Amino acid sequence: MLSKVIAIDGPSASGKGTLASNIARELGWVTLDSGSIYRAIGLLAGRLGLLDQESELVLKLRDFDLRFENGSCFLADENLTQEIRTEEVGKMASAIASFPSLRETVLNLQRDFRRPPGLVADGRDMGTIVFPNADLKIFLDASAEARAERRYNELKNKGFDVSLPVLLEQLLQRDKKDSERSVAPLIPAEDSILIDSSGLSILDVTKSVLDLVKQKGWVELF
């Protein structure tokens, strides 16, 4: 019997990564941060000058010693965790995420994360492409302004010199590209539950999703 999957999709900076981590921690389940996979590959593609070279990039993936451990991303012994969170790398990720053959390669990697006792997966096509039969699907959204402010505060706290208007424009461009791409566009699954987190704290959203899990009777939550 396949392990249960909670799929959390949404646009950039909607809070889906934090939500997925919170839910997985409460349930003791495995997490899949698909965005980090694409960001790491985008960073490597940028370093190698392969942002527009689909076939060569897919071939190079075989040589990448890319791994994820305890919420951190490593290339061999290099910790990429901080670098892949920048908006510049986000744009690189968006560029290579439209490559069909790359998405097919990453798809198999993502599905390998499904294992007991359960998986909480976040991304942009978790409920539509990667895990279309997920047991619970959440589409987490928020206004572009709210998301830009969250990303601004996150990056400022990490010491990055960023501009809120620039971040807002970058998010709007990323939204447009993600929703209009021909391969796995960012759209809610038909059977997903939509949550607008614009005026909610991450704790409020986490409680809402845990309440949904309770209703399904999968686990005892106290």
- pLDDT tens profile 90-142: 889 988 988 999 988 889 888 988 999 999 999 999 999 999 999 999 999 99
Give the C-alpha distances (Å, rounded to integers) separating 95 from 54, 178, 202: 10, 9, 29
pLDDT of amino acid 129? 93
CATH of domain 4-204: 3.40.50.300
pLDDT at 217 over 80: yes
Structure tokens at 118: 């359960």
pTM reported for the whole predicted model: 0.84
Phi, psi angles (nearest 5°) of residue 220: -90, 125
| pLDDT > 60? residue 58 | yes
Q: How far apart are CA 172 and CA 153, in angstroms?
A: 18
Give the confidence band of 220 by pLDDT, cuts at 50, 70, 90: low
Check: CB of residue 198 under 8 Å from CB of residue 3: no
pLDDT bin (cut points 50, 70, 90) of residue 222 is very low
pLDDT, tens digit, for every residue of 189-198? 999 999 999 9
Cα end-to-end distance, the chain, whole Å: 26
Pairing of strands 118-123, 30-33: parallel
| Residue spans per domain, the chain | 4-204
Integer Cα distance of 108 and 121 in angstroms: 14
**According to the model, what pLDDT value does residue 26 have?**
92
Per-residue pLDDT for 68 more than 80?
no
